[in-house]
Amino acid sequence: MNVQAPISDHDRMAFERDRKSPPEGFPNLPDIPGVRYTDAEFLRLEKERMWKRAWLYAGHVDQVEKPGQWFLTRSTGSPIIVLKDLQGEVRAFYNTCQHRGAPLVSDDAGVSRGFVCAYHGWSYTLDGKLTAVRDKRDFVDLDFSCRSLVAVRCERLGNLIFVNEDPEAEPLLDHLGPMADELDQFSLDTLRLVDSRSYDVGCNVKVMLDAFLEVYHIKSIHQSTVDRFLDHRGMIVTLWPRGHSRMCTPNRRPDWVDPGTIGMPKIPTVTDVPANNNVSYHIYPNFVMPPSDSGIPLLQFWPTSDRSCRIVSSWIAPDYDAANPDPLWEKRIRNWERILYEDLQFGPQIQESLESPGFRGMPLNYQERRIYHWHEELDRRIGLNQVPPEARVEQVLEDWVQH
């Protein structure tokens, strides 16, 4: 059976559970070179060619609920102001005055009818236009129309705001391809922001991201949590173009219900498979979304240096009222954090091992093919002929990508 054939997810899970070896024709995955996690030159290429040209989650529309409301994000490695203008459009600009580069805002969030640089008083509208400069008489032929704030590509997936520092990037929904249609069922344009918090870990960002692209580890790391109700041997994977993917892991018992979700409002449009199994979507490169029909965690994995990263965990849900929060959420988020900490705990020790002569490469298995898919896409975005030979991965999964 070819797992990419147009059969139901339930049939695919049954096949995965019963198979005795990888499916016929699945390639022997070459080792992922260890230098991709440690070499400064390769990580520089990764930052410039991939991170600076990717669609990256910036925040939720609840953070810019009314005209003039804004927040500042630095997660992409650049300071970017995300705002709602007076016409109700969500926009993004670099937090950079066009005079001498001073920041326009220093707080993390606020409400304003425009921006005034605190250094020399240059003033801008919410749509980025320069409107006033101090001592205009001292400038020769200053053309205000050429001194607008530099915009950052900013598009929405429902209520989720994404930015891209590449002005030539394809539109977000085109970039998502087949995944975009599948995500429609979650009614993302109706879900409210419940919570957001971050965790700093002392390891390369890919160490943490890898852990959320497979369930091969759950019997070791999550013995007292998710391994109690998930059947990792029945897990199915869908690989999509541009590095995106989906993983679906069945519950051990078909009638199992997460007790932490009982009594919570439901998203009525969610279909059977994500409502009754553990599904996890990955928007390349760093956005992981394992939805349920009563709330959706959003995970982002951000590099803060070659050897450190930050994981941001947010929740969105239907009918959430921030003024009168449901007390069930406190327990649900606490249980979620417990699982997160099980994954995060080994990051610094893994980083130490990665930098030793004992780490040469990663021999991935069939269950871990989403990780290999991630690395193939990274090389395509860097440029196959631009990746140093000792760091390249072979492109072997094309026949297993669902177009």
The pLDDT value given to residue 229: 79
Q: Where is pLDDT greater, at 228 or 142?
A: 142
Q: What is the DSSP string of 61-85?
A: GGGG-STTEEEEE-TTSS-EEEEE-
Q: Report whether pLDDT(211) > 70.
A: yes
Contact between 60 and 118 (Cβ < 8 Å): no
For 298, list phi and psi in degrees, rounded to 5: -120, 120
Instruction: Inform me whether the pLDDT recorded for 4 exceeds 60.
Output: no
> For 314-327, what is the mean pLDDT?
95
pLDDT in tens, 22-58: 999 999 999 999 999 999 999 999 999 999 999 999 9
Handedness of CA 91, 96, 99, 105 (dihedral sign): positive
Residue 259: predicted pLDDT: 85
Give the 3-state secondary structure of 281-325: EEECCCEEECCCCCCEEEEEEEEEECCEEEEEEEEEECCCCCCCC
- The residues with which 115 forms a beta bridge, in sequence order, are 124
At residue 224, the pLDDT reads 81
Global pTM reads 0.95
Contact, 310 vs 209, CB < 8 A?
no
Tens digits of residue pLDDT in 173-199: 999 999 999 999 999 999 999 999 999
Q: Give the Å distances, CA to CA, from 317 to 135, 159, 265.
A: 50, 11, 8
Per-residue pLDDT tens over the stretch 264-292: 999 999 999 999 999 999 999 999 999 99
User: Contact 134/122 with Cβ under 8 angstroms?
Assistant: yes
Q: Give the residue from 41, 42, 30 showing the smallest Cα distance to 379.
A: 42
Question: pLDDT tens digit string along 146-163?
Answer: 999 999 999 999 999 999
pLDDT at 128 over 50: yes
* pLDDT single digits (tens) 248-259: 999 888 888 888
What's the confidence (pLDDT) of residue 233?
A: 93
Residue 230: helix, strand or coil by DSSP? strand
pLDDT at 1 over 60: no
Q: What is the pLDDT of residue 258?
A: 86
Give 288-298 pLDDT, tens digit per residue. 999 999 999 99
CA 39 to chain centre: 23
Distance CA 246, CA 238 (A): 5
Q: What is the pLDDT, as a whole number, of residue 226?
A: 84
Q: What is the C-alpha separation between 108 and 84, in angstroms, rounded?
A: 15
C-alpha 64/C-alpha 110 separation (Å) is: 9
Residue ranges of domains in the chain, CATH in brackets: 9-53+171-400 (3.90.380.10), 56-160 (2.102.10.10)
Query: CA neighbours within 13 Å on the CB side: how many for 205?
Result: 22
Amino acid at 43: L
Instruction: Please report the pLDDT score of residue 339 as a whole number.
Output: 92
Contact at 8 Å (CB) between 180 and 324? no
pLDDT at 292: 95
Q: What pLDDT is recorded for position 59? A: 98
- Identify the pLDDT of residue 3: 45
